Amino acid sequence: MTHSFALHVPDADLEPEPLDAAQIVAGTPEVTGKVVWESPDGRQLRGIWQITPGVVTDTEADELFTVVSGRATIEVEGGPTLRVGPGDLVVLRAGDRTTWTVHETLRKVYAINL
């Protein structure tokens, strides 16, 4: 998108983003998402991401996000355990190795810097 816009996040249609089977620790979590803005050089992304209940691992990007709905516990290897829910703002550092335990389907809006 090249101009300013507004989007109602709870109703936004998201596209499937299949998880690598190696990331799934427990359950059958499903991920959907949508990039709503990308910088011309591709180094900045803004979007919406959702995951259903289960346990997954990830290696994070430099990301700031706000939880819109749902709840999860995010364990940062060698760092804090974050319990997040609606209205929480979270900052993850590039390279953080995390384990996400998703208790209720979680939807977030994010800003990633690559």
Examine residue 2 and state whether it is found in any structural domain, yes or no: no
Q: Average the pLDDT over each of 1-5, 40-44, 50-54, 81-85 and give the range with the smallest value.
A: 1-5
Examine residue 4 and state whether it is found in any structural domain, yes or no: no
Examine residue 82 and state whether it is found in any structural domain, yes or no: yes
Q: How many CB atoms lie within 10 A of CB 20?
A: 9
Nearest to 34 by CA among 49, 18, 20: 49
Q: Which residue in this structure is represented by tokens 């991920």?
A: 31
Nearest to 110 by CA among 49, 32, 39, 19: 49
Q: Which two tokens stand for residue 24?
A: 């799934």
> CATH number of the domain that 54 lies in?
2.60.120.10
Domain range for residue 58?
15-113
Nearest to 50 by CA among 16, 4, 27: 16
Is pLDDT of 9 > 70? yes
The pTM (predicted TM-score) of the whole model is 0.95
pLDDT in tens, 19-36: 999 999 999 999 999 999
